[in-house]
Copies of this chain bind each other. A is one copy, B any other.
Amino acid sequence: MTYCVGILVKEGLTMIADTRTNAGLDNVSQYKKLHIFEKPGDRMIAVATAGNLAITQAVLSFLNEGIENKDTGQMETIWTTPSMFKTAQLVGRAVREVYRIDGEALEQSNAGFEVTMLVGGQVAKGRLRLFMVYRQGNFIEATEDTPFLQIGEHKYGKPVLDRAITFATDLIEATKLGLISMDSTMRSNLGVGMPIDLVTVKRDAIAHDILHRIEAGEPYFHDLRERWSAALRAAYRAIPIPPYK
């Protein structure tokens, strides 16, 4: 399992991903799911992945090695796309290419073809944008009305985002909320685990702001988890008991 969240606010973008992959409870490994493609001033793109590891790794290889653009005949990589929209399209084409190669075998074995990706960032003079690419290769975009997108095990960590995130939220506050959302998910699903990778990007900087891996036991995140638990306990205790009879 996996949990990744991307939040796009006025000030910038934050993306957070766990690193646990598992094929059964007795086969657990650590793999990076948050991939950075950064050339300051030219592009700062982050791709977060959920789904079958063989598929997501193959997609990433295609993004680096390139796929032929059938319209132009040119090889395109994630380092050469001229905009974030074209980047999301490229990721979608890479997903479709992997499906063309592996989809039939996976579906025949009932393994299914499962992959979802978040693609966020800014290219050259374009806008800072955040997309979610589906297994079919098409995608949606975060907007001012719905400024966050989640992939993987998204339900446990959604209520806190639903209540608190707006497009006007400060970037660092949005990052904190993303970490609280990750904490809620890790507490309820063993398939989502530490360390956690985090990147933030300020609008028009075209470079990362924070790029950090949170290891197990790290003091700030440990403190966040403790404070959030204590605050939730205090919050429900402060609510009057039901008056029903």
Contacts and interface: CB of A to CB of B under 8 A. Distances in A.
Contact of A188 (B158, B236, B242): B158
Chain A interface main SS type: helix
A179 B243 CA distance: 13
A198 B187 CA distance: 27
Contacts of A163: 187, 229, 232-233
A227 B241 CA distance: 12
B242 A172 contact: yes
Contacts of A243: 220
**In this complex, which of A175, A176, A223 has the most chain B Cβ atoms within 10 angstroms of its Cβ?**
A176
A224 B241 CA distance: 9
A65 interface: no
Copies per complex of this chain: 2
A242 B187 contact: no
A76 to B, nearest CB: 33
A180 interface: yes
A210 interface: yes
Interface string A144-178: 00000000000110111011100000001101110
A228 B240 CA distance: 11
Interface string A214-245: 10000010011001110111111111111111
A245 B198 CA distance: 10
17 contacts: A155-B155, A158-B188, A159-B187, A160-B232, A162-B187, A162-B188, A163-B187, A163-B229, A163-B233, A173-B237, A176-B241, A212-B245, A220-B244, A228-B236, A228-B239, A231-B239, A235-B235
Which 9 pairs show the lowest CB-CB distances between chains A and B? A231-B235, A155-B155, A212-B244, A159-B184, A172-B241, A210-B244, A227-B239, A158-B188, A155-B156
Given A227-B235, A228-B236, 9 more contacts: A155-B155, A159-B187, A162-B188, A176-B239, A180-B239, A220-B240, A228-B239, A231-B236, A232-B232
